[in-house]
Structure 1
Amino acid sequence: MTELSDYLDYSNAPDQLTGGVRRIPISTPKGEFSVWVKRVGNNPTIRVLLLHGGPGATHELYECFDGYLPAEAIEYIYYDQLDSHYSDQPGDPALWTIEHFVDEVEQVRRALGLDKDNFFLFGQSWGGMLAIEYALAHPQHLKGLIISNMVSDVQAYNRYAREVLGPQMPPEVFAEILQLEREQDYENPRYEELLMQHHYTAHVLRMPLDEWPDSILRTFKHLNKALYVHMQGHSEFGMTPNATLGNWNRSADLGRIDVPTLTIGATHDTMDPEHMKWMAGQVQRGRYLHCPNGSHLAQYDDPQHFFPGLVQFLRDVDEGRL
């Protein structure tokens, strides 16, 4: 295990003065841009790159990792994808594609010197989709893969949202939400009010709104709504068919993933935990972690299961047990 003194030592590192923060240049067909990353700790064999959700959210979703992973001497790297708050924001929908973001992750990997001897890729929600896509495109660079709170088929997500989660609401509330969606009245304050009161606090983060951590409030404040709507759509009850991700499905391709893989699901998630358990059996070397008290952001509402399970997976892969 990495010694604490080595883990905390940034001396002679190019990002010492900035406390691990740097900007990485990204080449695209639309020009040169840069993305924001921040490294926490030093561990030559366990380096975890964090892919945030959204699309268009921020690394702030993972700030609670600071309370758990340093004690395990695990290196992790915050990263805001292009057009997210801390990175450049060219605002060009031509770049809002799976292909672009996979290539962007590969450019970030090269710049950080991540490789098959140390590179763990963690993705949650949209980040989980991106992690799957990266693993299919560049498996030779990965040491391990973590797919958190994301199913492998958008249509399965849509069905679960409308057939299982929606009916758990009071009938009049669900009916009003669906009516607002049929009218495409997504900017109506009532739409967000109903979702926050009856959906988000039940299935995204199971805490009263006035107790939500500041990191989550900042994530919502900094969300790139144009990018989010373009790629996933307005609705919180399934992705819009004409959005970039509207028909995404990689279930049939999971068997091609041969790197050790952890899928994470939660009882109260917006995604079906049984599907995520199934995914662990489809990849070649899979493990499922269930968070019985958690929802979509299980790192916040079920850290007692989320972090021990994540750390155990990282250790087992690093020591050749998976």
Structure 2
Amino acid sequence: MSCVDKAEKSIEAENLEKSSYLDYSNKADQATGGINMIPIETEIGTFNVYTKRMGNSPTMRVLLLHGGPGGTHEEFGNFEGYLPNEEIEYIYYDQLDSYYSDKPNDPLLWTTEHFVEEVEQVRKALNLNKDNFYLLGQSWGGILAMEYALKYQENLKGLIVSNMVASVPEYNKYAQEILAPQLPDDVLKEIQAIEANKDYANPRYEELLMEHFYTEHILRKPLEEWPKSILLMFEHLNPEIYIYMQGPSEFGITDDATLSDWDVSDRLKEIEIPTLMLGAKHDTMDPEYMKWMATEVQNGRSVITNGSHVSQFDDPENYFSGLITFIRDVDSGKIN
């Protein structure tokens, strides 16, 4: 290629309209790379939560609610491989008492009511509104997303419930009656014996789960192939809030946990905004129940991937295809 050709191509490139998606200039969070520590007012004081904005979009902004409770935004670590190319803005967020946020460590705040109001304060601080605000909740984050929508759906453009059913009793029934019997008999008996003795701290319990259950229903890859972001999420998980709200068992939520009787299945019909139910064939959550949930909300769609509980990692093609199509269909008015 001649120097003249190179010069012409350079000028041509400069004349192309530059995307503002990754332009953080002249923004208040430019110096922090999109990180905002947002003050949250609670009944026991004011504390800061971590958020990190990725990209810019005037009409497609997705706030990500992680699982747990007590997990971290790290579970969404591969969103960077899919959403930027679509110029969809997404916002990482660690809920109070999660790793990157403040940790008052007070059970007074460990309620769905508190976390709904926390999301609302984050929404206001980030200027999210019905013209641009999509809320995506995965696992426990799905519970939180449904609860938020039931109280504040007028602030939402779209709702995405990822890998979570609307009823903990249904989740428990599926785990105990469908998933547990799929384990080898000797493995199931050993797990049940450990749980009966409430010996959850026994290293053998985690070993059995990791080898026989997690690689089937949490992330369908050999443990040595699990992505670093998921390993970090497990490493950073806050066990105190997790056990308080979810319990120590992985075969449902235990009776003494505060979420044990949570159920909004009869209230799904109240949700009017466009809603995507993102389930998975091998999930800990019943995919057929998630399909049903999409028929209960007033404007629902379901996508069932071939993955498991974190299907963004073990079936990213179908997960992100379903997610991106939904967001773009809502944005374009195909769903409203």
- The TM-score, its normalising length taken from structure 1, stands at 0.98
The answer as to 2:137 corresponding to 1:123 is yes
Paired position in structure 1 for 2:333: 320
* Separation of aligned partners in 1, 2:282 and 2:154: 34
2:247 counterpart (221, 224, 233): 233
SS in 1 for 2:304: strand
* Separation of aligned partners in 2, 1:60 and 1:179: 33
Amino acid at match of 2:279: G
Q: Which runs of 5+ in 2 are unaligned?
A: 1-16
Paired position in structure 2 for 1:304: 317
1:113-192 matches, cutoff 5 A: 113-192=127-206
The answer as to 2:15 corresponding to 1:26 is no
* Separation of aligned partners in 2, 1:252 and 1:103: 22
Paired position in structure 2 for 1:76: 90
- The TM-score, its normalising length taken from structure 2, stands at 0.94
Amino acid at match of 2:262: W
* Separation of aligned partners in 1, 2:69 and 2:325: 28
* Separation of aligned partners in 1, 2:183 and 2:115: 35
Q: Deviations over 1:225-282 (max 9, x none)?
A: 0000000101100101221101000000000000000001111000000000000000
Contact 1:4/1:73 (8 A) holds in 2: no
Amino acid at match of 2:130: K
1:1-80 matches, cutoff 5 A: 5-80=19-94
Q: Deviations over 1:38-82 (max 9, x none)?
A: 000000000000000000000000010000000000000000000
* Separation of aligned partners in 2, 1:51 and 1:8: 22
Q: Deviations over 1:204-223 (max 9, x none)?
A: 00010011000001000000
Amino acid at match of 2:299: R
Give how far 1:83 is off: 0.2
1:194 counterpart (181, 202, 208): 208
The answer as to 2:121 corresponding to 1:107 is yes
* Separation of aligned partners in 2, 1:139 and 1:303: 28
RMSD (Å), alpha carbons: 0.7
Amino acid at match of 1:101: F
Amino acid at match of 1:222: H
The answer as to 2:301 corresponding to 1:287 is yes
SS in 2 for 1:264: strand
Give how far 1:5 is off: 1.8
* Separation of aligned partners in 1, 2:200 and 2:18: 49
Q: Once the two structures are aligned, what percentage of the paired residues are identical?
A: 63
Amino acid at match of 1:88: D
Amino acid at match of 1:160: Y
Q: How many residues align?
A: 319
Paired position in structure 1 for 2:228: 214
Paired position in structure 1 for 2:279: 265
Amino acid at match of 1:261: T
Amino acid at match of 1:32: T
Give how far 1:4 is off: 6.2
Paired position in structure 1 for 2:3: none
SS in 1 for 2:319: helix
* Separation of aligned partners in 2, 1:21 and 1:302: 29
Amino acid at match of 1:209: L
* Separation of aligned partners in 2, 1:29 and 1:18: 29
Give the greater-gyration-radius structure (CA).
2
* Separation of aligned partners in 2, 1:299 and 1:222: 19
Paired position in structure 2 for 1:205: 219
2:268 counterpart (254, 264, 267): 254
* Separation of aligned partners in 1, 2:18 and 2:332: 19
SS in 2 for 1:138: helix
Paired position in structure 1 for 2:11: none
Contact 1:57/1:220 (8 A) holds in 2: yes
Give how far 1:317 is off: 0.4
Contact 1:162/1:238 (8 A) holds in 2: yes
1:315–1:246 distance in 2 versus 1, CA, 3 Å? same
